């Protein structure tokens, strides 16, 4: 059974810092991996999707990497801003279906 773990559970950093969020999964036979952002009172927003054949994806200040063989992904946020404060969720798909298996998230606070 696939399990997705995110470390740390919470993180507080001063504005401007570069930071890394970690995601690990027990079954390396994933189809793809997706990073989401969850804001209170709002739905999840998809940030980046990495196919199993890819090593990384970039969008603006965000860079997600995937090391499928070791069961790890990282989300790198450059020059963090208070608006980046949210819960970041990592989720994997095991096949081409829509089904997502989520980690429990990292709550990020960027202090002004």
Please count the CA atoms within 13 angstroms of the CA of 70 that sit on its side-chain side. 9
Angle at CA 18, nearest 5°, toward 14 and 21?
Answer: 100
Torsion sign, CA atoms 24, 7, 22, 82: positive
Residue 103 interacts with other proteins (CB under 8 A)? yes
Query: Which listed residue (105, 106, 108, 110) binds other proteins by CB under 8 A?
Result: 105
Compute the distance between CA of residue 95 and CA of residue 30 in angstroms, rounded to an integer: 7
The CB-of-99 to other proteins minimum distance in angstroms stands at: 6
Residue 83 interacts with other proteins (CB under 8 A)? no
The piece of 17-25, 40-48, 60-68, 70-78 that touches other proteins (CB under 8 A) is: 40-48
The residue (of 18 and 104) whose beta carbon lies closer to other proteins is 104
The token pair that represents 97 in the structure block: 């279906």
Dmax over CA atoms of the chain, in Å, equals 41
Residue 7 interacts with other proteins (CB under 8 A)? no
The CB-of-16 to other proteins minimum distance in angstroms stands at: 28
Which residues form the interface with other proteins (CB under 8 A)? 4, 9, 32, 34, 36, 41-46, 49, 89, 91, 93, 96, 98-105
């Amino acid at each position: 059974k696939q399990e997705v773990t995110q470390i740390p559970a919470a993180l507080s950093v001063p504005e401007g810092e570069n930071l890394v969020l970690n995601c690990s999964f027990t079954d390396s036979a994933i189809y793809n991996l997706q990073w989401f952002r969850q804001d209170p009172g709002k739905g999840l927003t998809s940030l980046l999707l990495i196919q199993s054949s890819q090593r990384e994806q970039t969008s603006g200040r965000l860079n997600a990497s995937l090391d499928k063989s070791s069961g790890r992904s990282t989300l790198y946020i450059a020059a963090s801003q208070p608006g980046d404060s949210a819960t970041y969720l990592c989720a994997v798909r095991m096949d081409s279906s829509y089904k997502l298996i989520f980690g429990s998230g990292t709550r990020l606070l960027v202090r002004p």
